[in-house]
Amino acid sequence: MATAGKVIKCKAAVAWEAGKPLSMEEVEVAPPQAMEVRVKILYTALCHTDVYFWEAKGQTPVFPRILGHEAGGIVESVGEGVTELVPGDHVLPVFTGECKECAHCMSEESNLCDLLRINVDRGVMIGDGQSRFTIDGKPIFHFVGTSTFSEYTVIHVGCLAKIDPEAPLDKVCLLSCGISTGLGATLNVAKPKKGMTVAIFGLGAVGLAAMEGARMSGASRIIGVDLNPAKHEQAKKFGCTDFVNPKDHTKPVQEASSTCT
C-alpha cells in the first residue's frame, strides 16, 4: 500500500484525563516496527472495560491514551519479521496475545502468555518501549496493546487473529472480546458436562456468549439471572430454559426459578 513505511495522520478518540469526555483529534500513527502490524480499524465496539479504565477509579491512571480493544479491521502494513499476515488481511485484535513459544502458550490450560498477556498499565509497545501514536510530536499512550478508538492502530502480531474476509467485520468484531470471553469461560474453564445445570449471572454480551457455550456443551438446564426482564426473550435464543429476576423474589436466587415458555 502507498502508506506503508510512512506516518499516517488520522482521527482518533483521545482520553486526555480520567472521566473526562473523549476528544476527537488528529493523531500521527507511526509505521509498525519489528513484529508489529498497522491496522485500519473499520469497526470498533464499546466494552465496559474501556469505561472502567477511562474512569480510572482504583487503577493506575495512564493518560493521555487511546482506548478501545473490541474491533475488526484490515492490515495496512507489517513490520520486520511478520510472516503470518500481509496487507489486506482481515483481522481481529486480541488483548491477551500469544507468542506461541512460552509455557503458557504451549499449555492447553492457560493462555496467559509470558510476553503478551494483558497489561493495563503499559501504554507503549513492548519492542522498544515507545508509543506509535503522537499529537504534535508528543506521545499518546496505547491501551492493552490495541487502541482501536483510532482509524489506524499498531498492534503486536501476536495480538491479532486472522479471519475469513467474508465474515462481516461489523458483527464479528464482538468476537475479539465479549463473545470469546463468555464462550471461553464456559467451554475452557467451567467445562460443563452434558446434562448438567448451568446458571449464568448477567445476560449482556459476555453472559449470552457463556450461555451459548452451555448450550453447545449439552447442558440440560440453563438458568439466566438478570435484573432486566427484557433480556428474557433474547436469552431464549441462546439456550435459556429458566429465567430468574432477583427483584421478583425474597429468597436467595439459588432457591428461585421461573421456567421459560
Percent of the chain with pLDDT over 70: 98
Question: Within a domain: residue 23?
Answer: yes
Pairing of strands 160-163, 90-93: antiparallel
135-169 pLDDT, tens digit per residue, is 999 999 999 999 999 999 999 999 999 999 999 99
- Helices assigned H by DSSP within 77-222: 103-106, 169-172, 178-184, 205-216
Question: Looking at 176, 197, 212, which one is the last position of a domain?
Answer: 176
What CATH number is given to the structural domain containing 144?
Answer: 3.90.180.10
Angstrom distances, CA of residue 95 to CA of 35, 148, 158, 257: 16, 11, 9, 37
Residues 138 and 39 placed together within one structural domain of the fold? yes
168-193 pLDDT, tens digit per residue, is 999 999 999 999 999 999 999 999 99
Question: Within a domain: residue 260?
Answer: no
Residues 184 and 56 placed together within one structural domain of the fold? no
Question: Looking at 154, 176, 198, which one is the last position of a domain?
Answer: 176
Question: Within a domain: residue 170?
Answer: yes
Write out the H or E segment, with its range, that includes residue 236. Answer: helix 231-236
Q: Which domain holds residue 156?
A: 8-176
Query: 27 pairs with which residues across the strands?
Result: 10
Question: Within a domain: residue 183?
Answer: yes
Residues 141 and 224 placed together within one structural domain of the fold? no
pLDDT value at 260 more than 50:
no
pLDDT for res 253: 82
Q: Is 121 left (phi over 0), alpha (psi -120 to 50) or beta?
A: alpha
Residues 98 and 188 placed together within one structural domain of the fold? no
Q: What residues contact residue 32 under an 8 Å CB cut-off, 6+ apart?
A: 38, 77, 78, 79, 82, 132, 154
For the chain, the straight-line distance linking the first and the last C-alpha, in angstroms and rounded, comes to 55
pLDDT for res 257: 63
Question: Within a domain: residue 242?
Answer: yes
**Mean pLDDT, the chain, whole residue set:** 93
Residues 26 and 143 placed together within one structural domain of the fold? yes
Longest dimension (CA), the chain: 65
pLDDT value at 261 more than 50:
no
Residues 126 and 243 placed together within one structural domain of the fold? no
pLDDT for res 33: 98
Residues 93 and 204 placed together within one structural domain of the fold? no
Identify whether the C-beta of residue 172 lies closer than 8 Å to the C-beta of residue 33.
Answer: no
What CATH number is given to the structural domain containing 248?
Answer: 3.40.50.720
206-251 pLDDT, tens digit per residue, is 999 999 999 999 999 999 999 999 999 999 999 999 999 999 988 8
Match 502507498 to its residue by C-alpha cell.
Answer: 2
Residues 99 and 30 placed together within one structural domain of the fold? yes
Residues 158 and 86 placed together within one structural domain of the fold? yes
Question: Looking at 176, 208, 235, which one is the last position of a domain?
Answer: 176
The secondary structure of residue 247, as a DSSP letter, is: G
Domain total of the chain: 2
pLDDT value at 258 more than 80:
no
Per-residue pLDDT band at 59 (split at 50, 70, 90): confident
Nearest Cα to 182, choosing from 152, 227, 214? 214
Question: Within a domain: residue 112?
Answer: yes
Question: Within a domain: residue 136?
Answer: yes
Residues 166 and 221 placed together within one structural domain of the fold? no
4-24 pLDDT, tens digit per residue, is 999 999 999 999 999 999 999
Residues 159 and 190 placed together within one structural domain of the fold? no
Residues 85 and 171 placed together within one structural domain of the fold? yes
Question: Within a domain: residue 229?
Answer: yes
